[in-house]
């Protein structure tokens, strides 16, 4: 019901799947912009509270909007969505519809905070929190969930710009960005 309403309200033509693609078996969800599919990991989430399932759904729906309706989002979100920074320093850049991969040096806490604070992730988490509050009401559990999805301290925009530059440089030096 929420999926269909969101798609209608945002003029999105999306598919939903409860079978995660290979390599994403432990992810709560994901959005694939090529196939316009929102994936929700139903088996992985089978024992979690309904508000958590809704949070992950709205989070991924927001990513769909970010990719498919970029004019609705800030330049900062549109720029950052080209980059994915993972917990272990593995980074991706979307170039001509394909993700290119590189690895940056640093510890897991550093990259975890960068991952959580990415502008498009912050936007998706905040949106999901606000939507779930409308449905299930505000609760301590929901607030804790939301707080676990954001870095303990705000990440300066300059740090992202320098990280994106490092990703660009790594990909350029490897010959992958061409």
pLDDT for 112-130, tens place per residue? 999 999 999 999 999 999 9
Q: Does a structural domain hold residue 158?
A: yes
Q: Does a structural domain hold residue 17?
A: no
Q: In what order do the strands lie in the sheet with 83-85?
A: 83-85, 90-95, 98-103
pLDDT at 178 over 60: no
Categorize the per-residue pLDDT at 136 as very low, low, confident or very high, splitting at 50, 70 and 90: very high
pTM: 0.91
Categorize the per-residue pLDDT at 84 as very low, low, confident or very high, splitting at 50, 70 and 90: very high
Q: Does a structural domain hold residue 14?
A: no
Q: Does a structural domain hold residue 1?
A: no
Q: Concatenated DSSP letters for 13-28?
A: --EEESSPPTT-TT-S
Q: Does a structural domain hold residue 109?
A: yes
Q: Does a structural domain hold residue 26?
A: no
Q: Which long-range contacts (CB under 8 A, 24 or more apart) does 98-105 make?
A: 100/171, 100/176, 100/177, 101/176, 102/167, 102/170, 102/171, 102/174, 102/176, 103/170, 104/163, 104/166, 104/167, 104/170
26-43: per-residue pLDDT in tens? 889 999 989 999 999 998
pLDDT attached to residue 111 = 93
Domain carrying residue 111: 49-174
DSSP alpha helices (H): ranges in 69-117? 75-80, 108-117
Q: How many structural domains compose the chain?
A: 1
pLDDT at 177 over 70: no
pLDDT attached to residue 174 = 76
Q: Which long-range contacts (CB under 8 A, 24 or more apart) does 122-128 make?
A: 122/150, 123/62, 123/66, 123/73, 123/77, 124/59, 124/60, 124/62, 124/63, 124/66, 125/59, 125/149, 125/150, 127/58, 127/59, 127/62, 128/54, 128/55, 128/56, 128/57, 128/58, 128/59, 128/62
pLDDT at 69 over 90: yes
Q: Does a structural domain hold residue 10?
A: no
Report, as an integer, the average pLDDT of 70-88: 95
pLDDT attached to residue 1 = 87
The rounded percent of the chain whose pLDDT value lies above 70 is 98
Q: Does a structural domain hold residue 121?
A: yes
| Mean pLDDT rounded to a whole number for the chain | 93
Q: What's the CA gap between 40 and 16, in Å, rounded?
A: 8
């Amino acid at each position: 019901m929420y999926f269909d309403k969101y798609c209608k309200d945002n003029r999105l033509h999306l598919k939903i799947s409860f079978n995660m693609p290979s390599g994403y078996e432990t992810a709560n969800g994901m959005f694939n912009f090529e196939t316009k599919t929102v994936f929700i990991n139903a088996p992985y989430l089978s024992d979690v509270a309904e508000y958590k399932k809704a949070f992950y759904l709205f989070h991924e729906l927001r990513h769909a909007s970010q990719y498919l309706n970029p004019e609705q989002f800030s330049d900062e979100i549109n720029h950052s969505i080209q980059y994915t920074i993972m917990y272990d320093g593995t980074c991706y850049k979307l170039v001509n519809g394909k993700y290119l991969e590189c690895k940056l040096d640093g510890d897991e806490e550093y990259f975890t905070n960068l991952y959580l604070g990415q502008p498009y992730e912050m936007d998706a988490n905040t949106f999901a929190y606000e939507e779930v509050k409308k449905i299930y009401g505000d609760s301590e559990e929901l607030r804790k969930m939301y707080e676990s999805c954001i870095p303990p301290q705000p990440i300066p925009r300059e740090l992202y710009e320098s990280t994106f530059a490092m990703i660009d440089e790594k990909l350029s030096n490897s010959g992958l960005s061409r």
